[in-house]
Amino acid sequence: MRLDVTRRLLRLLRPLAPLMTVSVVSRVVNQGLGVAIPAVAVALVVGVGSGSPLGPMLILLGVLALVKGTFRYVEQFTGHAVSFRLLADLRTETYRRLVPLAPAGLDDYRTGDLVARVLGDVDRVEPFYAHTIAPLVSAVAVPILACVGVAAWVDPVVGVALVPFPLVAALALPWLAAGQVAALSGQARTMAGDVAAELGDAVQGARELAVFGA
């Protein structure tokens, strides 16, 4: 069921795929530089010890830091631009589908819960577009690039030996935590709907409560 929902969300992304691609590439570059900058800093320390000139390496570090910050901004800007455009479309589509059901088709739902679905539940899609797709691709691509870099510039054996660690972090740990996260997410959704329904009932009945002193 979750895979079906994920596929539907990805289909909605098609018109904005170029913008999402920019976000993904920017994330990969940003995270890749997060690995490269410490490596350059280590090379700087080693170079100073061997008498290499300090200036060029410091300039390189400064440029890399600026580039990293730039790509971080581009990633966040494009990812949220995609997310908020799709949120507006989803909210409109959800409301459009609810209107024909009123009033008979919505008798079993509380007003506050419906409002929570149109507003809160749709907003929960935002992290998928803004904080999931690009980090997911980056979590796979950056460790692979890092291992390739180590194999190319340090030692092929060391590069191959590092491969299992990102695989465990990217595959095993999320799989182990998925069940618990899904259960907690369902509980949180139920509680949020109950709170919204109680609040809606209290606001709608405020006049009666005041009249009866309740």
Q: What pLDDT is recorded for position 118?
A: 66
Spatial distance between the Cα atoms of 125 and 162, rounded to a whole number of angstroms: 34
- pLDDT, residue 165, reads 77
Model pLDDT, residue 208: 77
Angle at 77 between CA 73 and CA 82, to 5 degrees: 150
pLDDT exceeding 90 applies to what percent of the chain? 17
In the chain, at which residue ranges do the beta strands (DSSP E only) sit?
A: none
Contact 20, 13 (CB under 8 A): yes
Phi, psi torsion values for 127, nearest 5 degrees: -60, -25
The widest CA-to-CA distance across the chain, in whole angstroms, is 87
Question: How confident is the model at residue 116, as a pLDDT?
Answer: 65
pLDDT at 128 over 70: yes
- Element containing residue 35 per DSSP (H, E): helix 17-49
Encode pLDDT of 176-190 as tens digits: 776 677 677 777 777
pLDDT at residue 196 above 90?
Answer: no
CA–CA distance, 172 with 166 (Å, rounded to integer): 10
- Residue-averaged pLDDT of the chain: 80
Has residue 68 got a pLDDT over 60? yes
The pLDDT assigned to 1 comes to 46
Residue 211: per-residue pLDDT: 80
CB count within 10 Å of CB 116 equals: 22
Best-predicted range by mean pLDDT (61-75, 106-120, 161-175): 61-75
pLDDT in tens, 131-177: 888 988 888 888 888 888 888 887 788 777 777 777 777 677 667 77
CB neighbour list of residue 89: distance below 8 Å, 6 or more residues apart: 12
The CA dihedral of 146, 152, 155, 156, to the nearest 10 degrees, is 90
pTM exceeding 0.85: no
Q: Is the pLDDT of residue 83 over 60?
A: yes
Query: Average of pLDDT values for 13-32?
Result: 92
Separation of CA 31 from chain center: 14
pLDDT at 5: 76
CA distance 64 to 59: 9
Q: What is the pLDDT of residues 28-66, one digit of tens each?
A: 999 999 988 888 888 788 777 777 777 788 888 889 999
